[in-house]
């Protein structure tokens, strides 16, 4: 995760994941996530990608979608998609007459029943909530994706504890534009973290949900997340969302990730058919 090398400092690269030949629907695609100032208007400007190998190079505009629908926060989340040829290619982005290399990683390829995407661990997040979630979700077959952005000593100790647990991934959340705080990113980085999480797991997870740290999802009828949600989805092949309400009455969703491409806060930007529970 790093800032692209441009004089205006108006585009920040977060992550990129590659889906190879074995990924079917997303074959040979690279899904990219960026942060940009709201006034940079990258959803209306052209981002040129350079795809190259030992024998050739191709320039083409990238399809970019702005996941953040408002201009309240200073920084917004962008997502882009690039399709490579069958052979792996180098990927670069042309930004303001400067060329920046993009390092893409293989998307997660381990079959997972449910992935729980969470906001960055930052600010008023309680370490007790994180530790509870880290133990509960794997108990029912879930996988917890966390993003770490906290300098308090007790959270460093927590990080070391989390690394020893199964069923959890810990990803550092970067400093960017010279900032060490997430105050100016939408709601402390929820959208960009969930966008990264969706891109990483959408080809390997049967279901994905986007939850806050003060929420805990537990199967009600069955003893695993997969059995619980497959029971609702099994006869509804075109349904992409299962909507439910938490204890406060707030609407939450469990998604079939293959039917969505981007997320804003805790909701998919696309609105596929949904079931209400």
Domain residue spans of the chain: 2-106, 112-276
According to DSSP, residue 39 is labeled: G
CB atoms within 10 A of CB 190: 23
pLDDT at 99: 87
- pLDDT tops 80 at residue 91: yes
**Block residue for tokens 């190879």:** 20
Quick check: helix, strand or coil at residue 241?
A: strand
* CATH class for the domain made up of 2-106: mainly beta
- pLDDT tops 60 at residue 143: yes
- pLDDT tops 50 at residue 129: yes
CB atoms within 10 A of CB 97: 7
Q: What is the phi/psi pair of residue 35, to 5°? A: -115, 140
Provide the percentage of residues in the chain whose pLDDT is more than 70: 82
- pLDDT tops 60 at residue 13: yes
pLDDT at 5: 41
**Averaged over 178-194, what is the pLDDT?**
69
Residues with Cβ within 8 Å of residue 277, at least 6 apart in sequence = 232, 242, 243, 244
Q: Tell me if domain 2-106 and domain 112-276 are identical in fold.
A: no
**Averaged over 39-55, what is the pLDDT?**
83
Residue 222 · residue 26 · CB < 8 Å: no
Q: CATH assignment of 112-276, given 3.40.50.970, 3.40.50.620, 3.90.550.10, 3.30.70.1400?
A: 3.90.550.10
Residues with Cβ within 8 Å of residue 175, at least 6 apart in sequence = none
According to DSSP, residue 244 is labeled: E
Q: What is the 3-state secondary structure (H, E, C) of 46-88?
A: CCEEEEECCCCEEEEECEEEECCCCCCCCEEEEEEEEECCCCC
């Amino acid at each position: 995760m790093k800032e692209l090398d441009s004089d205006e400092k108006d585009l920040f690269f977060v992550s990129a994941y590659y889906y190879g030949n074995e990924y079917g629907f997303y074959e040979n695609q690279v899904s990219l996530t960026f942060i940009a100032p709201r006034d940079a208007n990258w959803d209306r400007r052209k981002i040129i990608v350079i795809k190259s190998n030992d024998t050739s190079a191709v320039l083409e505009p990238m399809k970019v979608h702005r996941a953040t629908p408002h201009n309240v926060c200073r920084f917004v989340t962008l997502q882009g998609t690039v399709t490579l040829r069958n052979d792996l290619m180098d990927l670069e982005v042309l930004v303001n007459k400067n060329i920046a290399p993009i390092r893409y990683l293989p998307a997660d390829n381990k079959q997972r029943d449910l992935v729980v995407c969470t906001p960055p661990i930052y600010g008023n997040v309680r370490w007790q909530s994180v530790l509870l979630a880290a133990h509960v979700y794997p108990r029912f077959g879930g996988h917890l994706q966390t993003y770490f952005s906290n300098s308090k000593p007790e959270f460093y100790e927590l990080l070391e504890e989390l690394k020893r647990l199964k069923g959890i991934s810990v990803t550092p959340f970067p400093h960017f534009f010279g900032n060490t705080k997430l105050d100016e990113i939408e709601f402390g980085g929820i959208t960009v973290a969930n966008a990264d999480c969706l891109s990483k797991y959408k080809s390997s997870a049967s279901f994905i949900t986007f939850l806050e740290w003060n929420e805990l999802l537990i199967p009600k009828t069955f003893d695993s997340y997969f059995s619980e949600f497959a029971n609702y989805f099994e006869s509804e092949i075109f349904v992409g969302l299962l909507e439910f309400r938490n204890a406060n009455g707030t609407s939450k969703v469990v998604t079939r990730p293959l039917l969505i491409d981007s997320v804003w806060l805790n909701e998919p930007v696309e609105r596929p058919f949904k079931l209400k529970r």
